[in-house]
Each structure stands twice: as C-alpha cells, then as structure tokens.
Structure 1
C-alpha cells in the first residue's frame, strides 16, 4: 500500500504542475500580453520564456499559500520553501517577467 501512496502523491504533483502551467499560459496570453502591448512592448520572440516566468511565479505563490497556511506540516512544502534553488529560479522568473518594462522591449 505504501507504493500506491507514493504513486498517488507523484500523480498529484504532476497534476499540480500541469494546472499551474495551464493557468500560467492563460495569464501570459490574456493578462501579460495586453499589459506589455499597453506599454509599447512587442509580445514576440521566445514568448515561452515569459510563460515559464509567469507560471513559476504562480507556482511560488501557490507553494507559499499551501505551505504556510493550509498544510504547515507537509515535508514537501517545507523542503520546497527552504530550497535555495527554488528562490533563485523565482528571482530569475521575476527578471524575465519585469525586465521588458525596464528595457522597453522583450529581450527573449
């Protein structure tokens, strides 16, 4: 039964990732694109980089809400929130999403 529990937990993690990537795509297309265009930033090039950045920011917000509010005892969320790589990628994602406002164009 322990093996089945691990499979179910991995399946839940995969579903979480797919849902967050899907929501990130919707945010990128319907929210970020109009914001960029209102600031005169062309939404062309490697847009998938922006999509990943938005998705990862949403993933961090999800992890913070679930890890700090809903399931404080979860080892998965404790390890995730204390991971240096987790926060470094978050900083990179913020750079990817917000640097076009500083440079005046999408460098990707």
Structure 2
C-alpha cells in the first residue's frame, strides 16, 4: 500500500528542514516527508574537521554559512539547541590543500 503524506518537502537544506519544523509546530498531526538526494542534511551548509597545527579545526566548505546577523535562523538554532561555532572574517589563517599558494 502507498503511504499518504500531508506535505512532501524536497531538500533537507536549511529551508526544507526549517519548513518541516515550522509545519510540525503548527500542526503536530501532519504527516511530513522530507526528501534529500545527498547522504547528509544541511544543503549548502557543510563543515569538515581538518587537522591543523594547533589541533583539529572546523572549516566551512559550503556555499553558505550562518552568522549572527541572520536573526531568524539564529533564533531557530537556539530553539533547537544546536551548537554554533565562532566565525571569523579577519586574520591570517589559511587552509592549504594540495596546491601552491601565492
């Protein structure tokens, strides 16, 4: 037998997961299916732990990241109890991966 869903969300990035969360808050009885083509959730936000001289550091590799001026998503992060890491846009830290640097 085929399952029947009230809502089908395509994509488990920030928008898709936020939509599922907000819909579930609005009506806990909704049957929601989130489809994702990759083997992970998060969409364009992705960080990897890479060894560095001072130990392991998290590096953002996605095309998008979340910063404190994005108040709506920061409120959602707090509501969900997710961990955040400081972001820096100044300094001299460089990640060199298998090629020359200039």
Would you call these one fold, judging by a TM-score over 0.5? no
Provide TM-score, normalisation by structure 1: 0.28
Higher relative contact order (CA 8 A, sep 6+): 1
TM-score between the two structures when normalised by the length of structure 2 = 0.29
Higher fraction of helix = 1
